[in-house]
Structure 1
Amino acid sequence: MTQTDLDSRLLHHLGVLYGEQAQELLPRLHQVISHHIELRQGECLKRAKWDEQDIMLITYGDSVQYPGMKPLAGLKQFLDRRLHNVFSMVHILPFFPYSSDDGFSVSDFRSVNPDLGDWDDIAAFKQNFDLMFDLVLNHMSREHLWFVNYVQDASPGRDYVIEVDEEESKNLSMVVRPRASPLLSRVRTPRGNRHVWATFSNDQIDLNYANPEVLLEFIDTLLDYVRHGARAVRLDAVAFLWKELGSSCIHLPQTHEVVKLFRTLMEVLEPGAILLTETNVPHAENIGYFGEGDEADMIYQFSLPPLILHAIHTESTRYLTQWAMHLDQEERPAGCTYLNFTASHDGVGLRPLEGIIPDDEVDELIEEMRSRGAFVSMRANSDGQDRPYELNISYFDAFRHPEEIPDRWHISRFSLSQTMPLALRGIPAVYINALAGTPNDPVGVERTGMTRSINRRKWDGPELENLIDHPLTETGRVFPEYARRLKIRQGIKAFHPEAPQRVLDLPDGIFGIMRTSLDGQQEVLALHNLKSRVMEIDLSEIYGEKVNWFDVLHQEIPDMSADTLRMLPLQAVWLLPEKE
């Protein structure tokens, strides 16, 4: 791209956002770009964005701790010892200084929390893993210097927040909320009490992107993260970025334009880097962040966790198959893909089920999860009513029957739930507490007062390693088998993130996907039995010609009678056809 072409694109982005200010802002943006190029060591990221070997681990910087070691160093030791060549990328959740929300209320966007380690500890992970960082760009902590300056009417920060007076507050009725807490937070200042925008909590003050200084700060921060080793950057809560009184304040055109501007900069400066948008919303809204191939490189598959949870609990694939078939028919821009996950550091979102599963069945799922120890987080609707927003529960315990002790199918259900996303088009992401088969942590909820803490256990490293090495423990049954399946997946070219996918129309209770490698040389038939009983499937109806099948997942010839496959309860198979 020539400098003239780049300037034309940058002026367009800035013009959409700031109108006539664009011309005077362009030289400022050039300064940020030049600063990045000057500080960058070596060449920019030039590589294929992904392939079938890409699998992401999601973890906090202190999820695994060892006595006498900095948490980041301890985490690296655990990953190097146990997961080298199993995961290609590690998403270290916000590791910056913070005041609340386990890191998502950032008080300094440019530093590493000294309780975890330092930038050298972050860089050390790059010996064996690529990295993803969070750009928590919607809000800041009340302890951030910018907010302190706002209170004192000083720069920078004085104009970095969004003040709303009583008269203007009447225009907030349409605002879409992810929480039930008040939208406005009262702040005492020398100028008197003020009310500022706080989408997520009283300690997370939204930033004012109508002020271009804020955007320039975060462009510089984005580039700083890439220089510090981020192959991917996750745009946290980006859907709420831009605010306009009298609107919903979610997915506004200016928000999409900010993502497009980031994408333009990455394509030019760091073409191997990946932008991931975090938008926990209904599916049709979520995929809007692909744009026309000019926004996110990758988006979360937010409908997947609750859909799989519902499907396995009801032993029905009706809604999951319909959704997946519709997904295949959607226009997905070339060079874009999905991040497929089930468990995460947050809860299981319920909004992504809107328009997919009827409300009464969602309510039944909620009650099922309550019986397994789940908390239900609420959000405020525009009509003033609170509605369920997410389930807070360990994904492992979500499959444990509360009245059957021991539950003979518990680990089988959970393992199936974790295997299903591995076959879908996209990149798999695995939360460390799912990998470890971690149960609910009610003590953590009691300690922090946060319901999300139920799924954020911090492990003592020696204890975790001891459990992994003992096959009679739940962790010992889950962790090694999970890692084995991930390793097998990495060797299957048909599981390339962009390889063609065909969702099969099969009897209810069987979820099937046919994947074909990009070169057309390899096919994989991934079948999943969600029933707690044996199911038989006529493979001749799926695959027309006569072949011999090999189950690469279990490294064996499958249980076949003529063309009929016999699947055990809650079993998954990855079948490779060998033509006669």
Structure 2
Amino acid sequence: MTDATEHLQQRVLHHLATIYRDVEHVDDLEAIMARILATMRLDEVNSTPEHFINHWDQQDVVLITYGDSICGQQQQPLKYLHQFLDDHCKGIINSVHILPFFPYSSDDGFAVIDYSSVNDALGDWQDIEAIADDYRLMADLVINHCSSRSPWFQNFIKGSGTGSDYFMTADPTDDLSQVVRPRTSPLLRETETGNGLQHVWCTFSHDQVDLDFRNPEVLIAFISIIRQYLDSGVKLFRLDAVAFLWKIVGTSSINLPQTHECIRLLRCLIEHAVEDAVVITETNIPNQQNLSYFGNANEAHWIYNFSLPPLLVNTLVTGNCRYLKQWLMSMPPAQNGTAYFNFIASHDGIGLRPAEGLLSEEEINQLVNTMASFGGCVSWRTADHGQRKPYEINIALYDALQGTINGPDRWGEQRFLCAHSIMFALEGVPGIYIHSLLATGNDYEKLKHTQHNRSINRHRWDDQALAEALADDRTQHSKVLGHMRRLIDIRTKQPAFHPNATQFTLQLGGQLFGLWRQSLDRKQSIFSVSNVSDEPQLLNLGDINLIDNIDWFDLVAQEKVDLSGMEMELAPYQTVWITNIF
């Protein structure tokens, strides 16, 4: 046995002992450890991965998409997606997050029936592996719950077979008053089973039944799934809704210590199997709780920067960056081996929980009302003591930025591009939703058909209609895609935009949002300044301490900066990226 193998065994045993410390009837941890390592094919290892290594740089940009965001008559959707990536993203976007591509029963994929299969309406494993050959692939590990139509849950109903003891149950008389959830539906689902009436825990919906990780068999089942995904080319693992993983009656059942320990175990196994694989936690919760999922560079490699979407949209519709600056100045730099995952649009919506404590209740209500006036929907949650609070705004980002709190205006496209210019400049890895790349608006037809608020931002493009829209340079889709490609191309060539490069927030007033980024070798500086208002603003170049005996260049405008007057006028929603190396 190698020293590395012995070290791995001891680490896995330690994680298991911590996870199952208070669980009765789980005592043969060595046997569980042996099964886990055999499942991951880690019976013998020759090295121990380092925690503080960055397996990413400024060239990493992730496209977020459903497997069927583009459909047609001639071939299956995953092939259309691969063609779109090759035609429009190759050379500028190197990674793709394909949202759950498995057979499912609801929630557009997040109620998984079978984790081991590709939804045949999308394609097959060959299609997935072909994309993974050309792009760094992120896949969802929907780990908190599965579909009520899954074979596991059907065996639970029968009372026998694999899965019959995989699900979390509680008694209606239990004290569940502290449980934190993002939904208003009843927590428990009555289910007649071969073992009598059971009340199944459902954090999200009654079709999404929560798994019980107190049973080690559930953990081993998911480790087997992870091994299969690695073998199919998955390099980035998005742990969906992982904050709710461990439940204890009488507690909030969110962010529990056992949940963090499970993530540490999964990271340990994944990075021993594939050293440059990445674990990313999807924890749509208040900011400080979210930060805890970095651990000490031993939990998530990346965490979603969930506070960014509501704060950035609020900045651009109010014309004031005060709250965005306050938040950014409070954010610790991600240490090596970790990074923020920045996004401003997703398949869900603009989460509001991560804005709690950062925006006042009045600011949140103003934002909600403004988005509603732009055609958006609002999803609600049950807070403490049964209080109903807004949880999420559902709206396409292109429509969300069509105007300000005063109403729609003529600056929508510029405001939309300004939002992305800011995101591309921030510390972290940027993720772009395909419908932002394509400037897709609200899909009211899909919303009407499904009656689910999130459908408004889950449009399915017909391949021919998309081709025609992109071929016409007068459409918003063509114009935005061209601008976005250009910005990303510039970004990926700048060492100062490395996800872990130094970042300082500049103090330039309420209407100018500024950052200073410096490359890891300290050779390149970039001053990113954006006018977040609908009026021209003067930038005093002395305020950003430009040294006047060297040349400075605006990467966005592709022109030398004139220092003679030491002032620069920024048009509404204009961004400059001023650098000393170009």
TM (norm. structure 1) is: 0.95
Match of 2:49 in 1: none
Match of 1:43 in 2: none
Once residues 405 and 29 of structure 1 are traced to their aligned partners in structure 2, the CA distance between those partners, rounded to angstroms, is 56
1:556 to 2:562 alignment: no
Map 1:149-168 onto structure 2 (within 5 A): 149-168=155-174
Match of 1:204 in 2: 208
Deviation at 1:382, TM superposition (A): 2.5
Q: Is the Cα contact below 8 Å between 2:271 and 2:278 reproduced in 1?
A: no
Residue 502 (structure 2) aligned to one of 500, 503, 506: 500
What SS class does the counterpart of residue 559 from structure 2 fall into?
coil
1:256-287 deviations in Å (ceiling 9; x for gaps)? 00000011112322110000000001110001
Q: Is the Cα contact below 8 Å between 2:242 and 2:259 reproduced in 1?
A: yes
What SS class does the counterpart of residue 181 from structure 1 fall into?
coil
Deviation at 1:407, TM superposition (A): 3.4
Q: Is the Cα contact below 8 Å between 2:318 and 2:405 reproduced in 1?
A: no
Letter in 2 for 1:105: A
What SS class does the counterpart of residue 55 from structure 2 fall into?
coil
Match of 1:254 in 2: 258
The sequence identity of aligned pairs, in percent, is 43
1:446-496 deviations in Å (ceiling 9; x for gaps)? 111211000000001121122122121111221111111111111111111
Match of 2:50 in 1: none
1:268 to 2:272 alignment: yes
Match of 2:382 in 1: 380
Q: Is the Cα contact below 8 Å between 1:372 and 1:402 reproduced in 2?
A: no
Q: Is the Cα contact below 8 Å between 2:551 and 2:561 reproduced in 1?
A: no
CA change 1:406–1:468 in 2 (3 A) is farther
Q: Is the Cα contact below 8 Å between 2:402 and 2:408 reproduced in 1?
A: no
Once residues 180 and 290 of structure 1 are traced to their aligned partners in structure 2, the CA distance between those partners, rounded to angstroms, is 29
Deviation at 1:188, TM superposition (A): 2.4
CA change 1:578–1:173 in 2 (3 A) is closer
Once residues 402 and 456 of structure 1 are traced to their aligned partners in structure 2, the CA distance between those partners, rounded to angstroms, is 24
Deviation at 1:578, TM superposition (A): 6.4
Match of 2:38 in 1: 31
Once residues 431 and 456 of structure 2 are traced to their aligned partners in structure 1, the CA distance between those partners, rounded to angstroms, is 20
Letter in 2 for 1:102: D
Q: Is the Cα contact below 8 Å between 1:290 and 1:333 reproduced in 2?
A: no
CA change 1:37–1:27 in 2 (3 A) is closer
1:82 to 2:88 alignment: yes
Once residues 410 and 541 of structure 1 are traced to their aligned partners in structure 2, the CA distance between those partners, rounded to angstroms, is 29
What SS class does the counterpart of residue 513 from structure 1 fall into?
strand
Segment of structure 1 superposing worse, 253-262 or 404-413: 404-413
Segment of structure 1 superposing worse, 10-19 or 104-113: 10-19
What SS class does the counterpart of residue 386 from structure 2 fall into?
coil
Letter in 2 for 1:503: T
1:346 to 2:343 alignment: no
1:573 to 2:573 alignment: no
CA RMSD in angstroms comes to 1.9
1:370-423 deviations in Å (ceiling 9; x for gaps)? 101111100111211111000001111001139999831111111111111100
Map 1:150-549 onto structure 2 (within 5 A): 150-168=156-174, 171-327=175-331, 330=332, 332-401=334-403, 407-543=409-545, 545-546=547-548, 547-549=550-552
Segment of structure 1 superposing worse, 459-468 or 212-221: 459-468
Q: Is the Cα contact below 8 Å between 2:527 and 2:544 reproduced in 1?
A: no
Letter in 2 for 1:456: R
Segment of structure 1 superposing worse, 546-555 or 179-188: 546-555
1:88-135 deviations in Å (ceiling 9; x for gaps)? 100000000000000000000010001100000011113431100000
Once residues 432 and 118 of structure 1 are traced to their aligned partners in structure 2, the CA distance between those partners, rounded to angstroms, is 21
Q: Is the Cα contact below 8 Å between 1:36 and 1:223 reproduced in 2?
A: no
Segment of structure 1 superposing worse, 150-159 or 402-411: 402-411
Once residues 255 and 85 of structure 1 are traced to their aligned partners in structure 2, the CA distance between those partners, rounded to angstroms, is 38
Q: Is the Cα contact below 8 Å between 2:61 and 2:430 reproduced in 1?
A: yes
Once residues 172 and 517 of structure 2 are traced to their aligned partners in structure 1, the CA distance between those partners, rounded to angstroms, is 56
Q: How many residues align?
A: 567
Deviation at 1:18, TM superposition (A): 1.7
Letter in 2 for 1:296: A
Segment of structure 1 superposing worse, 218-227 or 47-56: 47-56
Once residues 147 and 25 of structure 1 are traced to their aligned partners in structure 2, the CA distance between those partners, rounded to angstroms, is 23
Residue 58 (structure 1) aligned to one of 59, 64, 69: 64
Letter in 1 for 2:128: I
Letter in 1 for 2:434: I
TM (norm. structure 2) is: 0.94
Residue 99 (structure 2) aligned to one of 89, 93, 96: 93
Letter in 1 for 2:556: L
Once residues 403 and 296 of structure 1 are traced to their aligned partners in structure 2, the CA distance between those partners, rounded to angstroms, is 37
CA change 1:406–1:391 in 2 (3 A) is closer
Deviation at 1:191, TM superposition (A): 4.1
Once residues 301 and 408 of structure 2 are traced to their aligned partners in structure 1, the CA distance between those partners, rounded to angstroms, is 44
Letter in 2 for 1:292: N
CA change 1:36–1:57 in 2 (3 A) is farther
Deviation at 1:209, TM superposition (A): 0.2
Once residues 17 and 403 of structure 1 are traced to their aligned partners in structure 2, the CA distance between those partners, rounded to angstroms, is 48
Q: Is the Cα contact below 8 Å between 1:289 and 1:295 reproduced in 2?
A: yes
What SS class does the counterpart of residue 383 from structure 1 fall into?
helix
The list of structure 1 runs, each at least 4 consecutive aligned residues, that deviate by more than 6 angstroms after superposition, is: 35-38, 402-406
CA change 1:508–1:23 in 2 (3 A) is same
Segment of structure 1 superposing worse, 510-519 or 243-252: 510-519
What SS class does the counterpart of residue 172 from structure 1 fall into?
coil
What SS class does the counterpart of residue 164 from structure 2 fall into?
coil
CA change 1:181–1:162 in 2 (3 A) is same
Q: Is the Cα contact below 8 Å between 1:133 and 1:233 reproduced in 2?
A: yes
Deviation at 1:11, TM superposition (A): 0.7
1:271-329 deviations in Å (ceiling 9; x for gaps)? 100000000011100010000111000000000000000000110010101111111xx
Structure 2 residue ranges without an equivalent (≥5): 22-26, 46-52
Once residues 28 and 361 of structure 2 are traced to their aligned partners in structure 1, the CA distance between those partners, rounded to angstroms, is 47
Match of 1:71 in 2: 77
Deviation at 1:512, TM superposition (A): 0.6
Structure 1 residue ranges without an equivalent (≥5): 39-46
Once residues 403 and 510 of structure 1 are traced to their aligned partners in structure 2, the CA distance between those partners, rounded to angstroms, is 18
1:414-454 deviations in Å (ceiling 9; x for gaps)? 11111111000110000000111111011111111211000
Letter in 1 for 2:280: L
1:115 to 2:121 alignment: yes
Match of 2:109 in 1: 103
Q: Is the Cα contact below 8 Å between 2:133 and 2:233 reproduced in 1?
A: no
Deviation at 1:36, TM superposition (A): 9.2
Q: Is the Cα contact below 8 Å between 1:36 and 1:224 reproduced in 2?
A: no
CA change 1:33–1:578 in 2 (3 A) is closer
